[in-house]
Structure 1
Amino acid sequence: MSEQFRHIYIEKRALDWPRTGQILRHFPGAEQILIDHYKDVFNRRRQDVGLQINHRSLILAVRQGEAVYPGAPVCQSFGRSHFYYASSVMNCPFNCEYCYLKGMYPSGNIVIFVNLEEIMEEVDRLLTEHPVYLCVSYDTDLLALEAVTGYVSAWADFAADRPGLSLEVRTKAALLSGWDHYRGRKDLIFAWTLSPETYIRQMEMGAASLTARLKSVRAAVEAGATVRLALDPMIFQPGWKKAYADLVDRIFTDLSPGQIMDVSIGSFRVSADYLKRLRRNQPLAASVQFPFVTEGGYCHYPAPLLEEMESFLREKLLAYVEDKQIFSWEEGLTQARPIDGSHTGE
């Protein structure tokens, strides 16, 4: 990570925040460039997202305006009535071929908002109204950036004395130490996205291997952390049935079903607007060039294929876990409203 960023753009107002200096210490060789606003760099026209992902810059900024949003309709709420996500980092250090972020953001660079405490204040305001189920690793992979930001630990400490708050940290990273800090935390769920190993090599560039992810899951559950498995998104390609059957068997060769809180499943789905950009940016990526159907502003596999894929995976999982432990996305696509991209700050 320390060699990843050759250039770091810093908002002038971010210089006053202690986290700016803490993050910069991780990148002593990077060129530092002062800017007025992160959008001057992040929202520039005619950026080549694919090229930037291979040569990322880091942007340190101060989040202004709203930073906590209702969860998108195509994301699973796990039966929670008040489902939100917080955007403390924009863009992911990994390079997954099918990632919706490539369709949502105009840049491949990563933005870290250093005023995390002000974002937490938004959550406190929501908690005065109702309980909150909050995904904090929605627009990024916070666990992969933990050594640089410490944001997972900071969110965990924040939630510790707030009974109405539950957090989910979704990840494709592998972390083998530090899990004792999260022992017994039922309000803090670590959700690993797991894919067949061949899919990881083909479509999840930079993310941890399946073996490494499962080792990280084992380390977490053995330390007493709460763990969810996310077999989502399922991607169709020739041989998908064997790939996902082997994945499920591999998971429960390495893990005991009793160690896992639950499992989420879902086939690939994405905003129609984002898919247009994904296809434009990745013309050779089979995962996004499939002839999807569109409903309610979202693209997904045709109903017969979607149902076949999700039913097949559910049946495989039922050999290991109870039906009540399996969550799938069930809200009607015709009720969905596409994200408009307005949550990119002010």
Structure 2
Amino acid sequence: MKSWNSNFSHIYVEKEVMKHERSQKIMEKFPKAVIIEIENYQDVFHPSGQEFAYQKQSQKLILARKRDHFLYRGAKVCESFENHHFYYTSFLLNCIYDCDYCYLQGVYSSANIVIFVNLEDFFEEVERRLEETKDLYLCISYDTDLLALEGIHSFVEAWYDFSQKHPGLKIELRTKSAKVLDFSKKPYNPNFILAWTLSPEAVSRMFEKKTPPLQNRLEAIRKWQKQGFSIRLCFDPVLWQKDFEKNYSLFFQYCFSSLDREKILDVSVGTFRISKEYLKKMRKQNRNSLLLSYPFVCEQGVYSYPREIQSKIFDLVQREIKQYVAEEKLFIGGGL
């Protein structure tokens, strides 16, 4: 926890949740933090004129209560893995990592992290939706990296335990973290899907600032596999670069040779794509980003690589990955 103290030097807490059990437990983990009581998190999180990139250097924590909109329909640019009732939920806003391609810098004016502590209200909404649809595919790490912050909130374990009670609920937890939780004494739930985003080390160092190295992520995956989990691998975004074929061929070989292939659930592949409005904000916030300065093309309000480059990317990816996993386990999308 010491590594987070410099980040979360100040904790803003809504008056309504100051005495909430989760708020108290989180604040106890930061005994040196300045606690500031507020009426509504939006007063701190949403004011205009904030600099996302500047705040990213020293993030603050905001504890609040979510009052409505507990579930959202999954975005069309995201892979649904052939699930019909695809939703996501946001009980954390923003991330401790600092990836150049992350859409969050195009969504929020603030880089501070919001934690909604009223998790039970999210659970109740999921149960109501399950009564209607009977099954639900829910992404719970959509606007953050939930596993990376587990030491603060313990929400991953809470969602895992909740999922055990609802066989119609399928959950995806996507991460770049190297954190491993001990779930060995819990019944394994195949509907709780751990999904790792992986990039070549050179790409990660340049465009995925503050994230664990590739080797550490793979080591974490191996440890989760040893606990019985089948892992989803997400090569997304695959980024066009010099010596693309050579670099990504070696990268895929390294990843698949490092893992237990029998415990790879499936593989998702996408390339850079972002809405027109978000990219405009991202470029303004991160003017020195080599990635964001690329001349992407816009089709139907979404920026991505030109179709010719996309074809080269997906042809190479499909050819390489099919050497390691069955074709029916490969989901390719995430372009124009």
TM-score range, shorter chain: over 0.9
**What does 1:125-274 correspond to in 2, within 5 Å?**
125-130=128-133, 131-180=135-184, 184-274=188-278
**Distance between the aligned counterparts of 2:102 and 2:241, measured in 1?**
17
Instruction: Say whether residues 1:63 and 2:66 are aligned partners.
Output: yes
Displaced runs of 4 or more, over 3 A: none
Between stretches 234-243 and 123-132, larger displacement belongs to 234-243
Give 1:295's match in structure 2, choosing from 277, 296, 299: 299
For these two proteins, the number of residue pairs brought into alignment is: 332
TM-score, normalized by length of structure 2? 0.96
Q: Per-residue CA shift, 1:261-311, capped at 9, x if unaligned?
A: 110001111111110011111112121121112122211111111121012
| Matched letter for residue 25 of structure 1 | E
Q: 1:206 to 1:179 in 2, by over 3 A?
A: farther
Q: What's the secondary structure of 1:128's corresponding residue?
A: helix
Instruction: Say whether residues 1:42 and 2:32 are aligned partners.
Output: no
Q: Give the corresponding residue for 1:6.
A: 9
| Matched letter for residue 199 of structure 2 | S
Q: 1:95 to 1:302 in 2, by over 3 A?
A: same
Check the 8 A contact 1:11/1:35 in 2, yes or no: yes
Check the 8 A contact 1:179/1:219 in 2, yes or no: no
Q: Give the corresponding residue for 1:95.
A: 98
Check the 8 A contact 1:236/1:287 in 2, yes or no: no
Check the 8 A contact 1:182/1:225 in 2, yes or no: no
- How far residue 237 of structure 1 moved from its aligned partner, in angstroms, is 2.1
**Distance between the aligned counterparts of 1:318 and 1:184, measured in 2?**
28
How large is the Cα RMSD of the aligned pairs? 1.3
| Matched letter for residue 79 of structure 1 | E
Q: What's the secondary structure of 1:287's corresponding residue?
A: coil
Gap runs ≥5 in structure 2: none
Check the 8 A contact 1:184/1:226 in 2, yes or no: no
TM-score, normalized by length of structure 1? 0.93
Q: Give the corresponding residue for 1:78.
A: 81
Per chain length, whose mean CA-contact separation is higher, i.e. which structure has more relative contact order (CA < 8 Å, sep 6+)? 1
| Matched letter for residue 31 of structure 2 | P
Percent identical: 40
Give 2:111's match in structure 1, choosing from 99, 108, 111: 108
**Distance between the aligned counterparts of 1:35 and 1:316, measured in 2?**
52
Gap runs ≥5 in structure 1: 334-346
Check the 8 A contact 1:232/1:267 in 2, yes or no: yes
- How far residue 177 of structure 1 moved from its aligned partner, in angstroms, is 4.2
Check the 8 A contact 1:183/1:223 in 2, yes or no: no
Instruction: Say whether residues 1:321 and 2:333 are aligned partners.
Output: no
Q: 1:183 to 1:206 in 2, by over 3 A?
A: farther
- How far residue 17 of structure 1 moved from its aligned partner, in angstroms, is 1.8
Check the 8 A contact 1:142/1:152 in 2, yes or no: yes
